[in-house]
Amino acid sequence: MLSELGFILITTFIAIVSCSTLSRALLHPSSVSHNVSRSSYYLTTNELWFNQTLDHYSHYDHRKFRQRYYEFMDYFRAPDGPMFMIICGEGPCNGIANDYINVLAKRFEAGVVSLEHRYYGKSSPFDSLATKNLKYLSSKQALLDLAAFRQHYQESLNVKFNMSSGGNENSWFFFGISYAGALSAWFRLKFPHLTCGSLASSAVVRAVYEFSEFDKQIGESAGQECKAALQETNKLLELGLKVNNKAVKSLFNATEFDVDADFLYLTADAAVMAFQYGNQDKLCVPLVEAKKNGSDLVETFSKYVREYCMRIWGLRVRSYNRKHLRKNTVVTADGAYRLWWFQTCTELGYFQVAPKNDSVRSQQINTEFHLDLCKSLFGEGVYPKVDATNLYYGGDRLKATKIIFTNGSQDPWRHASKQNSSHEMPSYIIKCHNCGHGIDLRGCPQSPMVIEDGVNKVRQQMVDNIDMWLSQCRNPTRNSI
């Protein structure tokens, strides 16, 4: 068993390494790096498989595909202990991460299972990610995947522990961060009889067409000095592209770009990574210093991109190159970028457009840029139906019960989450230095030896709610769904 210090150090590495994802791709993980061993980072990497229905809405299509999942039962109190479902989001799911859910599982003597999202990682129904094969990729199908798997796994527990299928079941609780956090909330909304409650961490439950609040939050999180330095850097980048295009891109190891706006999206996302995942000091300290000293801002920024975004956090240049994204239809880990663009281009939006005034990113990153990229990757007629998505789920005004919403105060994605709190759906804004995406579960990477009070307070609220809702599940006569 890990000591408290050991747990804090490992969760710190998780926050730095596993969150090495691009802001447009929310939380999909890159490979483990930075000398973090798989045995330390994961509770388990043992792959298991479930035969999943391809199209849950068809009465005639009975095709199945293999969906990857994991289980960790070391703390499980057999036979009636609770089950924790960790929802994997928009990327490969390579195991059950050793984050704060490990502490919760031990506290509640829970078993833990985690299901990979359809199409991502090794759970692809097809051998090609061509547009024609992506018709079954949606949040609705993913929710039904979770329901089918949950039922299957419960039935296996019934058989294993000789429990009657029509009688008592284990109490289930769902967890997710970011898009997976939205799925966690939506699962409780659509299938309240299948879960006692949900944690929706940094959950982007509101589909957004033009998400200008995203960039505004980056400016607020940066502070005035860093914001001014970023804005000046951006102007110098745009000017440099006009004067010596290849030289500027070479500073970022990005000479392969044919479309300048794609390159500017990469640089905007690189800046976002610092704030989204609680590493803003890595960017702001050298950039502000360079501005004060009259040093080269573009060179300083490119050094941050190369040394942190690329070397440590896993940013890949080709994943921003539309030519690569259009042609790369092979099922690999890199395919996650194309898959997530399909979900945003058809269902969710989240187009991170530059505000008209005081923007941190280039004005070239506008609505037209996103729509043109969608068309370039998937053809004519592709458009994010965000109104229909929000009508179906309720957006940030969804009507449900027993969902905990948590958000970091400096996370730009919180503006697509539910920030208003109620008795049935408590919502907590975690306020601390470098409070980024999923901080309640992953911790703060800038404070490896200390968990700040803001995080601790919200974690205690999480424990209290989970305890209460699991108790109500075990004693249903005391509380209705």
Helix intervals (H) in 314-385: 322-327, 335-343, 367-378
What single-letter amino acid sits at 13?
A: F
Give strand pairing partners of 175: 86, 199
Q: Is 34 a catalytic residue?
A: no
Give the C-alpha separation, 83 to 105, whole Å. 9
Give the C-alpha separation, 436 to 280, whole Å. 9
Q: Is 56 a catalytic residue?
A: no
What is the gyration radius of the CA atoms in the chain, in angstroms? Answer: 22
Tokens of 337: 């970028």
CB-CB contact of 27 with 90 (8 Å): yes
Give the Cβ contact number of residue 212 at 10 Å. 18
> Could you say which of 117, 324, 415, 437 is catalytic?
437
> Could you say which of 359, 411, 417, 440 is catalytic?
411
CA pseudo-torsion sign 26, 349, 301, 324: positive
Q: Is 127 a catalytic residue?
A: no
CB-CB contact of 177 with 201 (8 Å): yes
Return the exposure string of 398-409: e unless at least 16 CB atoms fall within 10 Å of the residue's CB, then b. Answer: bebbbbbbbbbb
Give strand pairing partners of 44: 96
> Could you say which of 139, 178, 201, 417 is catalytic?
178
Closest of 42, 41, 90 to residue 70, by C-alpha? 42
Tokens of 481: 């769904």
Strands 111-115 and 64-72: antiparallel
Active site (catalytic) residues: 178, 411, 437
